[in-house]
Structure formats: structure tokens, C-alpha cells
Structure 1
């Protein structure tokens, strides 16, 4: 490698180690990591450096460009850790494209000022290097430099392959894997694992229904709602006004089952909870795909709650007031057994509440589906959006703080604006529970309503004041035949167990109903 290439390469190598040290949670010092991680780091830097120099023809520019990209990854990881309690992983690279397609969902969490500053600094740096650094083609020995770069490519690839073969196994706890392996090795390790297909389930989370005399016309309508960022904040902050979830409390009193729900997501990553509910697969079964379960499900299907219900004769519909292509749901949902997908195109601007389509509008859409002239039982899976962040940019006026807290509690409005916005949208989720229950009562069939939260919301200032919640949400299973005060199940569940519990409730039906059908059939046979 010529001196024109050597010094930028050496400075860049040191810079990558320095930038890696900025990660939070911190990675282990490089001299305390396994030798294999050094081979991967050295090989990755050398490979990327050689490729960039071949394209840009300016070694110092290439070094600075790569360092800037690495700084974006480091800053993204630190931001993700602060908001979602998880560092940057290989699966997050595709979110950079999503940030371009759906900037409101991502850029505010990175920081609008920081994003604009990074773009401006990058543009100035590109212009400066192009003007000030001469191209290798204008140097004394461009052919020698070109040959050195070509030779370095297979050598760098060899270092990477040797290192990857000897890397310690990942435990799939991102912060621990990042600490042990360092950034480059952790990204490579997760990337290699992600290329593997989803392992076939070893069991059936939704065992087929046993032969029964129960007719299809006696199956209940089923509505499942994944409520955006829903949890009961009164358990976390007792100072909140108790009536914020009055309708929800009434539903809980009539519930078949209600309790804490342990979800595989914090603040975001909705599809982790969503996939667990629909497929019944736990974290072990998903393996590396626990971090983005819909990625493999675009190519392969698995038994799901929707497909099993469709096997019983249900019409299956997914309702999500956002573009169907987000998270590739337009490809995943048909593979999971949904007949129809109703997305943002079925709603209009008047149905927005704040930044997104309101929960009440989604409830009305589900209510219309329940009135369709269709003899089949209906399963609707609704994924709401109203309470999605960024909450501090929400245009909704939540009213004064004293309206949301018990008397005597003083909360400066500027300190917990995100919490007040969250509570205002939470009240609409509360109204949604009332509308859905009424729609199911008015339907000609019996009805089941499954309600749960996908994860806790992102509210860093509120958490700084009141402390962090434990990360659990709540689930409620309600039916048209359960009466207030009747015994209900309060067992805590994991997200993958909730869909199984709903499947069980569908098969069990109304207590005594099947006995009545059997008795009636027996009398008919005697006659």
C-alpha cells in the first residue's frame, strides 16, 4: 500500500476505534475482546476503505466519509438506547430507508436539529474534499495505487472470514453482544444469523379444533385490537386522575381474562409484539428473527391465529390506518391468513386525531365490518396508530395539567407535555373500547374482544420525573356473554400466549352453549 493510501488508512482505523468508544452502553476495550473481533474489525475497515477509495479516488475524503457514516450509526445507536433501551443492530439498517419514506416516525427521535446539522456538515465536507484533495489519478503512480487497492480487497475479505469463523456465539441480547464483540463484529454476527430462514415451529401454537357439533353460525365474531402504546399509566404514576380509563375499567369488570402482558418491545418495534400475538411463536422459536419477525414472514408462512380462524370458516380482516407497505404488512398479512387488508386509503383527513388517524375512526370502521351482510363469522385484527409518537410534536391540545392529575398535584405543563398528549390520546382509546363493545353487542352473533398494548410509549421527560415503568402492558379478553362481577382469569401472559388464549376462548365459546347444542341434537335424534 503506497504512502498516499497508508496514512489515511491508519488514521481511519484509529478513528473507528475512537468512535466506537462513544457507544452507550459502552463496548469492552478492544484489548479485552477476543482476537477474532480484531480480525473482523480490521478486515471490515480495510474492505470498506478500499472500496470507497476506488470510487472516490481521494483517500482522505474516503476516510472522512466512512467516519461520518460510522458516526451516524453511533449516534443512532445511542439515541435508540436512550429511547428504546436497545442499541443499534444489523436489522436497523433498513430503518434508514424507512426514515426517508416515513420521516415523522424516525427523524424526531434522532433529533431534527442534529439531522439537519449532519446533512449540512456532510455537504460542506464533500464539497471541501472534492476541491482541496487531488484525485489519485493525477498522482505520480496511479497504477501502483490502483493495484494496491485491488490486492487489499481479497486480503481484507480473508481477514473477515477468518474472524467470523472464530467469533463467540451471540446470546441475542443486543447490549451484551455489542459489549463483548464490539460494533463491527456484532453487526456482522447478527447479519449472518439474519440470513438464515425462520426455523419451522416444533409445535402448533393453535392446535386445530377438535370435531364438534357446534355449528358455524354459533361461532362468535372476534375483534382483536393492538392499541398503540397502550398501558395503564395509573399503576406507574398513582397521581394520575383515576377516571382517565373509565370505559376500560368497565370492560375489565366484565372481562373473561385480564392481566399484565409481557411484550418483547419497549417504546417501538410494534411488529415484535404483533408477530408474537398472531403466530404464537416465542423469542426462542423466532431466534434472530425476534428483532424483525416480518422479514422472514414475507417469504414463508407459519400457522397463525388468522389462518386457524379462517379454517373454521371466519372471514379474516386486518385494519391498520397507515400505508400497508410499512413493515411489509401488505405481503405478510396474506401469508398469515388474512383475506383483506384495510389500510390508510380507507380513511380520510377528517378522521385524523393529532398526527394520525384516530382510534374512534378505527372503531367505526370495525363497527361497519360487523354490520356487513355476510353469513360467516368475522375476525378483525385492528392495529391502531393514534398514540404513536413523537408525542412532543403532537398538535392536539390536551388541556391544562390539573385536568389529568389528582387534586393537589402540581405538574408544570412544559415539563410533561408529552405525558399530557399521551393521556389525551389514551382517552380516545378508552372511548374505542366502548364503541367496540357496543358494536359487538348489537351484532347478530355473540362476540369476543381482545384488547392489548404493543409496548409502553416513549416519554423520556415523564420517565425522568416519575421513573421507568416495568415495560409490561395489559391485556383484556371480553365477551358479550360475560357479566359484571363474574369470575375472570388474571394470569400474566407473554404476548405469544395471548393469541393462544384468544383461540382457546373461541373454541370454548359461551359456557353451556355446547352442552345445550348437544342436548338439542340428542332430542332431535330421539324424535
Structure 2
């Protein structure tokens, strides 16, 4: 009994100490009741599995400490603490660890393996087959779980963290409480009512124009990316703004990652407010909202609707979700096996060549949504023989600008009616140069070809990705003779 009570107390005390190191910094002592209950659930489960009081203490503490460290690293690099939806990237970490390992400090990498081995050794050496500890652990876990469940049904569900406010909630209630409550809120979020597709074209309407949407990886304006550090402007973007329908800043919610947030908002037109707790990773629930998908809504206008991405389509589950959103054809890495690379990934030039050939050879206009890959991080020094990561990113950014130029030239010369939408998914996170900041916008531009449009020149504006979705629909709804 003594070991049981002492190990239980140590587990609670150390978990609270670890929680005080969470970033953003914890304020006050609110939320420690639910924190303690959650820790008891995990301690009890560990004790029920291992039968060792101190094994359960070490295992629970080690797991929670790892969660705190991971959250702090993410906050430093991306400006956002750990959220429940981050568990969805576990499979991606195993497939493409270089996307994530670059963010881990070298000192932590050195101690990571020994620390894991010590924990595993403790579990093996000090576990017990004596029934009493296993039963005690089961009782603790089930008891704490029942208290959490009862409080959720009677009190917390109606008013505890009712809307996502991640940083404020962590400062008040702590990381563990937010992870669990946000998970419950996310699971309880209802799916919206279906929306109808756009109607088929009427006899007095011209055929739908080509609709080409380019989501350019880590595309940002170099001139305002690093204060006090001059980088040459994107010449094609600046020049084409003068003849565009609309251009300006796209207020994306993520920094340095979370491509799928921008992608989903442009494809489905659902804002962060609309999504609520689903906004952290809207792809997790995309199949429930498939009618909002731009290709589904435009199915009557475009027989062929292509999603093009020269990287593993299993990433974010695109191989499954894009057909659900209405795309009829997926063009993935197998279609770019022999294509030119720029750095470690398929070049933007290769994508431009593919689109050029597609536009010139297809009989009917198509909807083509492209997600580029060339400028994906990490931007290690030496990439493309660059002197530092910022120079590598800048080289790729100008290649993205060249893609915009090549598409503009193709659409001008082909003589076919078309709309081109080009935007950045998020700003890059480049340690030592580009850090999380309140300003997270990326450039966007909308261009029209061989279709009568307003003569007034466009003025710069700031819109959200969901509003860009509405801009696209509006363009097509006014396509009349």
C-alpha cells in the first residue's frame, strides 16, 4: 500500500511540474483537477498492464514529458502547441521522418534513444505478475474515467472550453486538459447539412472555361518574409497583378505546415469558424462534408476534374479523400517518375510542362487542382548548393514564380477561355530566419483569359482561403454570353 500511494503521489506531482514547463506559459492553477484525473487514468492503465507501481509512475511521467517536449518544439517552430489531431501524422512520420526530425534539437536526438531504452528496461525489469497491483490499477483507471465521464455529461459539455481558443485554453487549463477536452469536443461536432451542386449550363451560356487552381508549396512574398533582410521580389507575380481580376494576401491559419487547412478551405469553402474543432485538421472529417467539395459542386460543368500532386497521395489521406470530394482523376508521383527534380522533390517546371501539354491537347475544358511540392522543407544548408536554408527557399520560391509565368504564357497563347488561381499554402518555417508571427499571409492572384471582364483594374485585398473558394464559384456563375 505504501508503494502504491507514494508512486501515485509522485506521478501526480511530477506531471504537474512537467505541465508548468508547457509553452505558452501556464498561468495560475486552474484545470489541475481534470489534469489529475486524466493522469490517474493513464497511471491506472499502466499499472493494470505492468503490475509495477514505480513502473507505472515512470511510464506515465515519461509519456507525459514526451508530450510536453513535443508540444514545446512544435510551438517554437510552428507557433502552435500540440493538438489532438497531430496524432494523425504518426503514419506520416514513419514514412517521411525527414519532414519532422529537422525540428528536433540535436541534443534531444542524442538522448532520445537512451531515454527510450531506459524506460523499456524499467518496464521489463520491474513489472510484476502479482494480481493485486493489476487490479488496483484497473480500479484507479476506471474510477478516474467514470469521474471524467460523469463531469463531462453533467457539467463540462455545456460550457467548458466550448469554442477552440488553443493558446488561451492551454495557459488557463494546461496541455493535457486541452488535449482531452478538445478531442471530446471534436468528436461531438455534428456534420453540416449537404449543399447542392451548381446547376448544369443553360443553352444561353458558354461552355465552362478551363479552371486551373495552383496551391504553391511554401509560396510567400520574399520582400516581407524576413524583416531587415532583402530578398528580390517575385517579378511575375508583381507584373501580373496589374492585369489580374483580384490579388492580395491570403489569410491562412497555419504557419510552416498544415497545408491541408488552406487546401480544405479553398476546396470546400468552410471557414475556421464554420469548422469549429474540426479546423485543426479538416481532412479527418472531410468525407462527412464531401458535398462542399469544389469538384462535386462543379460536376455538371466539368466532366473531367483532376487533382495533381507529385508526392505520395497517401499523405493526409488524399488518395481516399480527393475522389470523395469529387475529383475524377488523381495524378500522383507515378505520373512524374521521369520528371525533372529541383532539390529532393519534383520541380515546379515539371508541373508546368504537364499542365502546358494538358491544356493544349485536351478536347474539353477541365478543372485542374494542383498542389506543388518543390519548395517543401526542410531547407537544409547545401540544398541546391545554397549557402543557407533561406537561400534554398528563395531559389524555390522564384521557381514557383516562374511556374506562374509559364502558365500565364500558355493560357494567353492557347486562346481558350480560362481562369487561373494561384496562391501559397503557408509561409515557410526556417530556423534562424522565419519564425512564427501574427502576420501569416501568403500571396494570391486570380487571372482570366479570353473571357470578357470588368475594365477596372484590380486593387489589392485580403481574404481568407474560404473566401477564395467563393471567388472561384462567383467567376463560374457569371460565365454567360
Indicate the residue corresponding to 2:458 in structure 1.
488
Task: Pick from 115, 133, 142 the counterpart of residue 121 of structure 1.
Answer: 115
1:433 and 2:425 aligned: no
1:341 and 2:310 aligned: no
- Over the aligned positions, Cα root-mean-square deviation in angstroms equals 2.6
CA offset digits 1:279-335 (Å, max 9, x no partner): 111112111111110111134412232222222134210111111111011111112
CA distance in 2, matches of 1:119, 1:39: 33
Indicate the residue corresponding to 1:401 in structure 2.
none
Mapping 1:164-183, distance limit 5 Å: 164-165=152-153, 166-167=155-156, 168-183=160-175
CA distance in 2, matches of 1:428, 1:240: 20
CA distance in 2, matches of 1:224, 1:308: 15
Mapping 1:313-352, distance limit 5 Å: 313-348=302-337, 351-352=340-341
- In structure 2, runs of 5+ residues without a counterpart are none
Task: Pick from 451, 454, 459 the counterpart of residue 425 of structure 2.
Answer: 454
Indicate the residue corresponding to 1:26 in structure 2.
25
CA distance in 2, matches of 1:484, 1:430: 25
Quote how far apart the aligned CAs of 1:202 are.
8.6
Quote how far apart the aligned CAs of 1:62 are.
2.3
Quote how far apart the aligned CAs of 1:48 are.
1.2
CA offset digits 1:36-56 (Å, max 9, x no partner): x34422222122112212222
Indicate the residue corresponding to 1:310 in structure 2.
299
Residues 437 and 13 of structure 1: is their aligned pair in 2 closer, same or farther, counting only changes over 3 Å?
same
- In structure 1, runs of 5+ residues without a counterpart are 399-412, 516-527
SS in structure 2 at match of 1:301 = helix
Indicate the residue corresponding to 1:15 in structure 2.
14
Residues 355 and 120 of structure 1: is their aligned pair in 2 closer, same or farther, counting only changes over 3 Å?
farther
1:386 and 2:356 aligned: no
Quote how far apart the aligned CAs of 1:57 are.
2.7
CA distance in 2, matches of 1:43, 1:469: 35
CA offset digits 1:367-401 (Å, max 9, x no partner): 22213333x21111101111111113562123xxx
Mapping 1:71-86, distance limit 5 Å: 71-86=65-80
SS in structure 2 at match of 1:318 = strand
Quote how far apart the aligned CAs of 1:171 are.
2.8
Task: Pick from 72, 75, 94 the counterpart of residue 100 of structure 1.
Answer: 94
CA offset digits 1:400-433 (Å, max 9, x no partner): xxxxxxxxxxxxx5xxx22111111011111111
Is the CA contact (8 Å cut-off) linking 1:39 and 1:163 kept in structure 2?
A: no
Quote how far apart the aligned CAs of 1:3 are.
2.3
CA distance in 1, matches of 2:114, 2:76: 25
Quote how far apart the aligned CAs of 1:225 are.
0.4
CA offset digits 1:447-495 (Å, max 9, x no partner): 211001111110231147xx95711111100122389996124332111
Indicate the residue corresponding to 1:360 in structure 2.
349
Quote how far apart the aligned CAs of 1:233 are.
1.9
Task: Choose 1 or 2 for highest CA Rg.
Answer: 1
Indicate the residue corresponding to 1:262 in structure 2.
251
SS in structure 2 at match of 1:200 = coil
Residues 366 and 201 of structure 1: is their aligned pair in 2 closer, same or farther, counting only changes over 3 Å?
farther
Is the CA contact (8 Å cut-off) linking 2:15 and 2:64 kept in structure 1?
A: yes
Mapping 1:139-288, distance limit 5 Å: 142-165=130-153, 166-167=155-156, 168-200=160-192, 208=199, 211=202, 213-216=204-207, 219-237=208-226, 243-288=232-277
Residues 302 and 164 of structure 1: is their aligned pair in 2 closer, same or farther, counting only changes over 3 Å?
same
How many equivalent residue pairs?
Answer: 476
SS in structure 2 at match of 1:95 = helix
